[in-house]
Structure 1
Amino acid sequence: MPSPFPPLLGRLDCRVFGQGRPLVLLHGIQGTAEAWLPVAQRLADTHRCVLPNLPGRAASPRWRTADDGPIERYYHLDHYAGLLHELLQAIGQPVVLAGWSMGVSVILRMAALQGIDTVERLVLVSGTMRAGPPEATWFHAADIDALRSEARQRAERLGLTQVADAEAVAWSWQSARGLDLAAGAARIACPTRVVHGETDDQCPLAHGRALAAAITGAQWLALPGVGHNVLGAEPARLAAAITAENPR
């Protein structure tokens, strides 16, 4: 379904379905909005689910020419944060916001740059305040060409069918790697739940604990036997975590 929001956001492809309170679900670095479907489908009876695809994903736009600005800025966390902020403003009412993996990074960056006043409740899944070596390393290559290749190989290895463009993945990782997102965490004042799989090998458990500790009053939920893909492994439990009225 095309985005129902103003033309400013028409450039983003959004999956929108369900009835009720607005719920925005933000995907990770290599996935698309489809990653959230197992969770969103459980919440559609009570929530208007909005699943945006960031640039380079699904039917959202791609960087084409210099008229779009520098490619490294187009696929940068700061650009994504601005787009997310615009989306929340366009919805025009308080929202529940959840992000997974890089989606957490985008939310933290938005909190630092634009604030998070329109969010009434926040759920941060499999996230970190600092992605990159030595622990939270989603990709290992150093340069863009090698990162593109690694992204393609990873998608094939994992059997992913709905994936971000390798170009978008490479530049997104370049912007996220080593970026300190603690300032964004410090600005969050709304009720927040931090959810993390105990066996996450992409973003170790300690990173989730640190994120929860950095957000005033955040509730911590660790999932035994679950890795990085909480969305696929525990959709029912994650849906319950999102709908809890008072994460604190």
Structure 2
Amino acid sequence: MPSPFPSLLGRLDCRVFGQGRPLVLLHGIQGTAEAWLPVAQRLADTHRCVLPNLPGRAASPRWRTADDGPIERYYHLDHYAGLLHELLQAIGQPVVLAGWSMGVSVILRMAALHGLGAVERLVLVSGTMRAGPPEATWFHAADIDALRSEARQRAERLGLTQVADAEAVAWSWQSARGLDLSVGAARIACPTRVVHGETDDQCPLAHGRALAAAIAGAQWLALPGVGHNVLGAEPARLAAAITAENPR
């Protein structure tokens, strides 16, 4: 089957299915497009669901040497933000854009670097404006080798069945850790809903509240008894949150 986005061929693998309004769903630091399937399958009758795999995931490119320059640049939030921006331009019409965990970080970085002109509505799930110690610490190791081992353990704990390459996870975390994403949040002008699990131990509830407060007019939805993996725990409720035009 030919790529639905020829301009991104060889640089960004995407799963595309369904029909209707375009909906782009961006995964987290260890996940792949598969993480969104429980939600996307509930929306495919009314939306054209586009599920990109960032570098180091599924059929997207991966790098294990520095032959093409510093390897960390390929797994950096800025690179991810640029690819997401290109994807939205390739779709060619306003989209509903949702991100989970690091996907939120990528969206905020894109807002700061490229703007959100192609986005008609945002849903930000389990995200933060600053990942890292002491609270929103997805990983604790400092060096790349130790991060690879920690990444495998975290994937098991979160119940992720399709995971990113350890190399991609390690460098993505080095990129995201401690980065202030408040500039991107402040630039969001489209209707936005922020969703967060009340028992999230990877990104505590206060981070979600702070993100919602930083975005003008953002709607806030806290999910009692739900942890970090909202996609797996509450797919039906999250699908409803994505499709709600004026959420309460």
Q: TM-score, normalising length from structure 2? A: 0.96
Instruction: Give per-residue Cα distances to partners, 1:122-154, cap 9 Å, x unaligned.
Output: 000000000000000000001111111211233
Say which SS state the counterpart of residue 66 (structure 1) adopts: coil
Go from structure 1 to structure 2 and tell me whether the alpha carbon gap of 1:187 and 1:157 turns closer, same or farther (over 3 Å shift): closer
In structure 2, C-alpha distance between the alignment counterparts of 1:184 and 1:172, rounded to whole Å:
18
Report how many aligned residue pairs link the two structures. 248
Distance 2:161 2:223 in 1: 26
Q: Which runs of 4+ in 1 moved over 4 A?
A: 156-159
Over 3 Å counting, the alpha-carbon distance change for 1:208 and 1:158 in structure 2 is: closer
Decide whether aligned partners of structure 1 residues 38 and 188 sit closer, same or farther in structure 2, where only a CA change above 3 A counts: same
State the secondary structure of the residue aligned to 2:9: helix
| CA apart distance, 1:11 | 2.3
User: d(CA) in 2 for partners of 1:226 and 1:140?
Assistant: 23
Alignment CA distance shift 1:148-1:198 (3 Å): same
The one-character-per-residue Cα deviations of 1:178-233 (angstroms, maximum 9, x if unpaired) are 00000000000000000000000000000000000000000000000100010011
Percent identity over paired residues: 97
Give distance in 2, aligned partners of 1:4 and 1:10.
12
CA contact (8 A) 1:101 1:125 kept: yes
> CA contact under 8 A between 1:3 and 1:10: conserved in structure 2?
no
Tell me, what secondary structure is at the counterpart of 2:155? helix
Shift of 1:13: 1.2
Whether the 8 Å contact between 1:68 and 1:74 is mirrored in structure 2 is: no
Q: Considering only aligned residues, what root-mean-square deviation do their CA atoms show, in Å?
A: 1.4
Per the alignment, do residues 2 and 139 of structure 1 end up closer, same or farther by CA in structure 2, a change over 3 Å counting? Answer: farther
Closer, same or farther: CA 232–2 of 1 in aligned 2, 3 Å: farther
Structure 1 gap segments, 5+ residues each: none
Kept in 1, the 8 Å contact 2:158–2:229? The answer is: no
TM-score (structure 1 length as normaliser): 0.96
Q: CA deviation at 1:7?
A: 3.1
